[in-house]
Structure 1
Amino acid sequence: MHISVFLILAFNIFLVSCHNHHNEIPQIISHGVQTLQTTRTVPQRLSSAVKNITKIPDRKLANDIFCQSCELVFNQIIEYRRGGANRDSMITYFQKLCRLFTDWGGVACDGYINIEIDTVLFIIDNKKDLTGFRVCAIAFQQKTCKDPNMKKWTVAIPPPRRHAHHQHNHHKAAPLKLLHLTDFHYDPLYQAGSNAACDLPLCCQQSNGPPSKPSNAAGFWGDYHVCDIPWYTITNFTSYLTQNHANFDLVYYTGDIISHRSWATTKDHNVESIQKIFKLFKDTFNTTPVYPILGNHEPHPTDFYSPGDVSPKISTQWVFDLMAIEWARWLPNDTSATIKTGGYYTVLVKPKFRIVALNSNVCFTSNLWLLYDDDDPYGQLKWLVEVLSEAEKKGEKVHILSHIPPGEVLCLQRWSNQFHKIVNRFAPIIVAQFNGHTHLDELRLFRDANNTKKIINVAYNAGSFTTFVRFNPNYRTYNIDTNDYRVLDYDQYTFNLTKANQDKNKSPEWFKLYSFKDAYGLKNTSYDSLADMLNRMSKNHTLMQQYFRFQGRESAPAMASGCSDNCQAKLRCAITAVEADEAIQCQQIKKKTKKSKH
């Protein structure tokens, strides 16, 4: 959920530009940013605009101005470097921009810049056709920025096969028990009682100083402010699991171990946290297999997944090499090659049941290496088609694990589009998908291209263990059919953080928030039932309000703003938005509010 400082700069420059007369914006921004390269002081005109930020009400006009401003800013940055600016000059330049256009303060600004500068300079120096158009079209696709020279790459997908009737021995066996964990975001520096309302992108650490008032003091078990999770909350949870649940058959961990202190990560600290979590999983689950995937926070710098042909100084190859070692606790030896190539793998768990674990973080638009090369990074989607084709021939059913969910608005449009096509093609054998990243309890439903009322695939997002931001921690258990490996039902568990923090000497009181079938009135979890649920959601405000409450596990801060008719329309739209373009359209919904009928 981190966005590179260099991308944040452009977004805030847009907000500045809205204060000025529209047709003057390109010149003002261009001149102001260029002047910053050579002066210690911020131009008065630019500075006054920062203090009087307003937004343009017309969304299309606002996006157009944003994209024009973004393109000019990044062209200036590229030209400055290629005109001879050295590393120190570029650092100083970015420091000025960060302090002017963000509210992160000097510590976070300097931290982000020092961590990311070498990657940024490598891309500028070596991507000869890099332009402001390309930067903005990739980094800010949600603003509908376009690059007229963008390559529309594709992945070859074979035509549908005539599905052979593979013989399955249908038997009444107890369902498989699946535990789904995601987004721990372990913070080694968390300190109860510290300032939870600091002026940095992550708080609740000793360095944040004392709180200004009691309500801003970091809670013992966690906090609803911009804070992550202490180690003892995690170990208390794993102890609870072993004491209160019968053995699981398998465990999915869908990414993000590292905290949101992204301006101060180091490779060594990330390695330490990753190893600590996976050792805990091994100790907790013993012989139960764990199937982990990478999150966008695992590498250093955060979000960056480099190609394989760059210098060790800026390469993130170490992440893949580390995972090949750590995951060997649970995975067969033949997964090592693809893990080292790009952090993805496949495992035949049982006869006719396959897991495909993706590194979808490569599509996240905060991954600046997309500016260098966005064409199916690591050949992963090409590999996915090959794996699914082979699975189809053998009559296997497949679970796909992926950190970035389908329809994530910040997943590169082209990657998102090609993944959607792959799922549509192989929907009959992909019986479920499992995601994390957004920290939201949510669904994604794939619709038939020829009949939008027909559901053909489903992705489940389990939420997060971290409280970041305003959420109650959670975990999820599924019952999996042993005949076709579809989800039969799931239970969502959580605890009330406010209540837990009232007594640090008492363990949090976990409880079942809901069961999927019961909560949504489902006869079963077939695609027809999910289509019926979606239809009922369009008419039943109470059902949508429940979906909204469940997203943050009914935490008081998450529910405080409520969910208007417009909010409900966006949430409902997002359920079937399985491409970035569709998600962007959902965000732009403006529904006339009517009095809700409950």
Structure 2
Amino acid sequence: MRASLLILLLSVQLINSEDLACKSCKFVVSELEKIFEKDLVKECIQPLISFLCERFHIQTHNICKGITSTFKEEFLYVIKELISKPQHVCGLLLKDCDHEDNPLYSNWTIPIPGNKPQKNDRKPPKDTIGPTLRVLHITDLHIDLEYAVGTEVDCGEPMCCRWPKERSMKPLKSPAGYWGSVGNCDSPLWTVENMLKHASTKQGRIDYIVVAGDLESHADWEYSKEGHLETINILFPLFNKYFPRTPLYFSLGNHEGYPVDNVAPHSVPEKFQMTWLYDAMLKHFGRWLTVKDQNSFRYNACFSTLIAPKLRLISLNSILGDNMNFFLYLNQTDPDGTMTWFASELLQAEKRGEKVQILAHLPAGAGEMFEQWAINYYRLVNRFEDTIVGQFVGHTHKSQVYLTFEDPEDATSRPTSVSYSGPSATPYDGVNPGYRIYTIDGVRNNSTYKIIDFADYYLDLIEANANYSYKDMAPWKALYTSVKKEYNMASLEPEEWMKLVHKMPNDHQFMRRFEKNVYRRDLGPCDAGCVQDRVCQMVTSHHSKALCQSVRGNIEGDSSPSPPPRLSLPSLRSFLTKCPV
């Protein structure tokens, strides 16, 4: 649904002959050039995208129509820039088509600054000695202002639990509950507010809050600037209502993009910049940042700020590494110098003797991340492993752990760091909503600022909808109050998480409990494929099959899905002849 740029040229990748596919690609690009030259974009491009969207059953008619409307201007700008170099486009999509070796300028690396200090033996912080910090991790709120109690949960579309756009005569199979519903449904606003109320009234002291992005619903074909601003002006005041004196730090999610996933670097025209969004956000959480940090966020949605003596938090805009970000199809290379800036901030922190926490939305190993962004991030994490003491991410909606290793291609080498994808506030994608609280080594001389432990809290939606009315506090409860006790870990050092990876294939009871905690609901036994998927996910923080294979051997992937319907060159030519080019 979001890859409209590739939808336009999808047909050429479905042709078996490489030579014919290359010729077909050049034909499509040449036709597009004619369309732009004769100013026939409105008559031809938008109908073509809608046609392909419906032809390949990517979505329903209404959603396909919404996609073309939402993405129109940004999409057409990127296409116009791309088609000026047919070999650029075809070299990108097809191997050995005009031999464009690096069409996206994707093989980029940044210099690793400074010399890595000699590795110190890890000394995990003790549980009970000295002060601690308590940190609330919230991510993927995805509020749906159109959520409607009693509507269909299993509607067969990307977003359910809403009144349908067209009248349906189908009988209601599964009505949406008051507090939310597991499935393709986002969070009603009142559930998110109830979560914040529970965290503020039941959890005692919270020293600061990290929010890892994604405020908007998954109805991304309906996005608008007005809608984004409405969400910001609803959600941030709720944080202020329940945590008026608690610092809040935010990282941009892919659903903050308008269109979705699209955050423009400064290499494209100013009209595509997201300053309007950043300014709106800063009005709400900017008071916790210095003027310098505010200006940094206003530039590219990144900042680096001191949050305690010798403790720095870096908010990294990971959407500048998102392979669904159209603007990066023009040039991937270190957008806005963000990774170079990140390296510099880490180096300066090391020189000052500071520890660093990183807040981002996309995990580096996420499928949506460009590999060069992921591997540059990976190399920096390894270089500054003694400086980085926390990595907080979101996006997956699941409670996941990602490990990095001294050898980026070998998961049997020494593990160097761990990042945490927190539980999502939305139930979308088969989870119960949740939030997390970390206990961190606190402010004192020579504090490690390492994570000592964390607790996860969740809302069982089946129980909540059955037994609680809107007048009550929803029954949020602990999934576990100590992850260390839950998994019998000596500490949360990377080596301890790696011990769990080795345990997984041989302990079915443990694996079922682990998966229950990932989803915040019991999915039943975890079979061999499930175990392999989890092991691979935990050891893969960049796109390397070698990492997975080094731990589990030759792991077979899922069975291939049925191929999509083919669109031949003649049928595409027939469609294009409707345009008067």
TM-score bracket for this pair, using the shorter chain length: 0.7 to 0.9
In 2, are the aligned partners of 1:413 and 1:581 still within 8 Å (CA)? no
Q: Which residue of 2 aligns with 1:5?
A: 4
Structure 1 residues 115 and 447: alpha-carbon distance in aligned structure 2, compared to 1, 3 A threshold: same
Q: CA deviation at 1:326?
A: 3.1
In the alignment, structure 1 segments of 5+ residues that lack a partner are 28-67, 593-598
1:481 corresponds in structure 2 to 441
Aligned partner of 2:290 in structure 1 is 332
In structure 2, the CA distance between the partners of 1:455 and 1:529, relative to structure 1 (3 Å rule), is same
For 1:269 and 1:217, the matched residues in 2 are separated by 26
Could you tell me how far 1:337 is from its partner in structure 2?
2.1
Q: Distance in 2 between matches of 1:287 and 1:281?
A: 10
Query: What is the CA-CA distance between 1:147 and the residue it aligns to?
Result: 5.8
Listed one character per residue, the Cα deviations across residues 306-341 of structure 1 (whole Å, up to 9, x for unaligned) are 122544554333223333333313222220221122
Residue of structure 2 equivalent to 1:81: 32
Tell me how far apart the structure 2 counterparts of residues 13 and 468 of structure 1 sit (CA, whole Å): 33
Match for 2:62 among 107, 126, 129? Answer: 107
Q: Does structure 2 conserve the Cα–Cα contact (< 8 Å) formed by 1:403 and 1:436?
A: yes
Aligned match for 1:547, one of 514, 520, 537? 514
Structure 2 CA distance, aligned partners of 1:8 and 1:551?
33
Preserved CA contact (<8 Å) 1:565 1:591: no
* Residue identity (%): 27
Residue aligned with 1:84, SS? helix
Give the conservation status (yes or no) of the 8 Å contact 1:324–1:336: yes
Structure number with higher relative contact order (C-alpha < 8 Å, ≥ 6 residues apart): 2
User: Is the counterpart of residue 566 in structure 1 residue 529 in structure 2?
Assistant: yes
Distance 1:90 1:444, change over 3 A: same
Offset of 1:269 from its aligned partner? 0.8
1:299 pairs with 2:257: yes
Which structure 2 residues correspond to residues 27-66 of structure 1 after superposition, within 5 A?
27=20
Measured after TM superposition, the shift of residue 197 of structure 1 is 2.6
Deviation at 1:148, TM superposition (A): 2.0
Cα offset, 1:300, TM superposition: 1.3
Per-residue Cα deviation, 1:484-504 (whole angstroms, up to 9, x for no partner): 111111111112111111245
Whole-angstrom CA distance in 1 between matches of 2:381 and 2:28? 39
Aligned ranges for residues 182-221 of structure 1 at < 5 Å?
182-208=139-165, 212-221=170-179
Q: Which secondary structure state, in structure 2, belongs to the residue aligned with residue 459 of structure 1?
A: strand
| Alpha-carbon shift at residue 389 of structure 1 (Å) | 0.4
State the one-letter code of the partner of 2:533. Answer: K
- Equivalent AA in structure 2 for residue 172 of structure 1: I
Is residue 7–residue 49 contact of structure 2 (8 Å, CA) maintained in 1? no
8 Å CA contact 2:364, 2:542 repeated in 1: yes
Task: Provide TM-score, normalisation by structure 2.
Answer: 0.84
Deviates more, 1:319-328 or 1:152-161: 319-328
> 2:252 is paired with a residue of what secondary structure?
coil
- Where in structure 2 are there 5+ consecutive unaligned residues? 559-581
Contact 2:251 2:361 in 1 (8 A): yes
Q: Give me the whole-angstrom Cα distance separating, in 1, the residues matched to 2:212 and 2:557.
A: 34
**Secondary structure of the structure 2 residue equivalent to 1:206:** coil
Work out which of the residue numbers 400, 404, 416 in structure 2 matches 1:442: 400
CA distance in 2, matches of 1:229, 1:251: 20
Asked if the contact 2:116–2:384 (Cα under 8 Å) also holds between the matched residues in 1, the reply is no
Number of the residue aligned with 2:571: none
Alignment partners' CA distance in 2, 1:396 and 1:386: 13
Classify 1:73/1:377 alpha carbon distance in 2 versus 1 (closer, same or farther; 3 Å): farther
Change (3 A) 1:134 1:222: farther
Determine which of 379, 383, 387 is the counterpart of 1:425: 383
Name the aligned partner's letter for residue 536 of structure 2.
C
User: Aligned match of 2:428 in 456, 468, 471?
Assistant: 468
1:149 equivalent in alignment to 2:116? no
Deviates most, 348-357 or 204-213: 204-213
Using structure 1 for the length normalisation, give the TM-score.
0.82
Q: CA deviation at 1:284?
A: 1.2
Match of 2:48 in 1: 93
1:458 maps to what in 2?
Answer: 418
Map of 2:231 onto structure 1 = 273
Distance change (3 Å), C-alpha of 1:581 and 1:11: farther
Establish whether residue 379 from structure 1 lines up as the match of residue 346 from structure 2: no
Write the distance in 2 (CA, Å) between the matches of 1:288 and 1:153: 39
- Given the superposition, is the C-alpha separation of residues 160 and 539 from structure 1 closer, same or farther in structure 2, using an over 3 Å criterion? farther
CA distance change for structure 1 residues 554 and 357 in 2, over 3 Å: closer, same or farther?
Answer: same
Offset at residue 233 of structure 1 (A): 1.0
Pick the aligned partner of 2:542 from 571, 574, 579.
579
Question: Helix, strand or coil: the match of 1:126?
Answer: helix
The alpha-carbon deviation at position 12 of structure 1 amounts to 8.6
The aligned residue for residue 508 of structure 1 is 474
Task: Tell me the secondary structure at the aligned position of residue 354 of structure 1.
Answer: strand
Q: Distance in 2 between matches of 1:565 and 1:346?
A: 42
CA distance in 1, matches of 2:496, 2:224: 47
Instruction: Compute the displacement of 1:548 (Å).
Output: 2.0
What is the match of residue 532 of structure 1? 499
8 Å contact kept, 1:195–1:211: no
Amino acid of the structure 2 residue aligned with 1:275: N
Q: Does 1:227 align with 2:180?
A: no
Kindly indicate whether residue 453 of structure 2 is the aligned counterpart of residue 499 of structure 1: no
Paired position in structure 2 for 1:65? none
The answer to whether the Cα contact below 8 Å between 1:194 and 1:211 also exists between their aligned partners in 2 is no
The answer to whether the Cα contact below 8 Å between 1:464 and 1:474 also exists between their aligned partners in 2 is yes
Distance 1:489 1:407 in 2: 23
| 1:356 alignment partner, SS class | strand
The answer to whether the 8 A contact 2:143-2:216 is kept is: yes
Q: Kindly provide the amino acid, as one letter, of the partner of residue 81 in structure 1.
A: L
- CA separation of 1:222 and 1:361: change in aligned 2, threshold 3 A: same
1:99 Cα offset (Å):
1.1
Report if aligned partners of 1:193, 1:210 keep a CA contact under 8 Å in 2.
no
